[in-house]
Structure 1
Amino acid sequence: MDQIIELIKGDITQLKVDAIVNAAKSSLLGGGGVDGAIHRAGGPQILEECRKIVARQGSCSTGDAVITSAGKLPARYVIHTVGPVWQGGSKGEPEKLASCYARSMELATAHGCRSIAFPNISTGIYGYPKEQAAKVAVEAVTAFLLDHPGQIDRVVFICFDQENYLHLAKIPGVHRPSTFDE
């Protein structure tokens, strides 16, 4: 596998990649956390495109994803995916979370993206345990890259918080800059 899975700590709205992923609500109308940050930094164009998607198809289902332009962001696209709310792990949460990553990668490749950045999906107010979410994320991304060789060159996991960063840093195959103070 020639693709790089990279881990950095920072602000997803500042990243220069083809697509950034938004941990969205099913309404696609913005919210708190990373969702609110992306909508604020990207400007009203993203919300307008989300409204058009909702008018056309209704809300976005858990585990699914939709794509918009990135407005004022340095990325080309924003892929909005709806992660599962943690309910103990026996309500299909791992499969739905894995689907968020797979569907986002599918949309990215369908739009010619060679690089994509993911936040920590569902680990905020949705309560998904961070260590378990990290494993699901890396497994889903790795599986996609193996099944679709040469389609995406760079996947970035960008963490806003130290705890998510440290969980991802423990997983083999995830490259992290040696300059970050752990």
Structure 2
Amino acid sequence: MSEPMNPEADPVLAAIRERRSIRRYSGEHLSKEEILTVLEAGRWAPSGLNNQPCRFLVLPPDDPRREGLTAHTKYAHIVRTCDVMIALLLRKDKLYNARKDHQAAGASAQNMLLAAHALGLGAVWLGEIINQESEVLQVLGLDSEVYELQAVLALGRPAQKGSSERLPLSEIVLEGFAS
């Protein structure tokens, strides 16, 4: 298969390729403007019928609910050391199609991760925490009749470089493109 276009030719393509999950943080606080920029990116994610079902709960470093979350994830060390956490939720009364709305939440998370990367921040998508959704919602003080937990993003100033490998396209494109 031939090579795709040079990702360095476009900052969006470069960010998609360079973004990594960062799980260790320096302890230096993020600015309000940085957090708002990340949230704004999440807000602009696509959603079916533009129903905008995503909601965000920001947990700063001094929020006592963070310690309660540590009992409900195997990534307690990330919960304790990141600067800010963003719980990504779907508002149930805004849903119109479960599959599309869950995809909207994924798009929102990806937008926020890319925004964090563009700002030079480190971030990681904690998806495992949804395995204990009812307990997490209780810790957060949110009604499970109103909200569905999708993910928690941890953000901070990176104290590590991320790494990743991807399968070649020839292994994941099933058909429809001649190599």
Answer whether TM exceeds 0.5 for this pair. no
Structure ranking higher in helix proportion: 2
In terms of Rg, which structure is larger?
A: 2
Question: TM-score, normalization: structure 1?
Answer: 0.29
Question: TM-score, normalization: structure 2?
Answer: 0.30
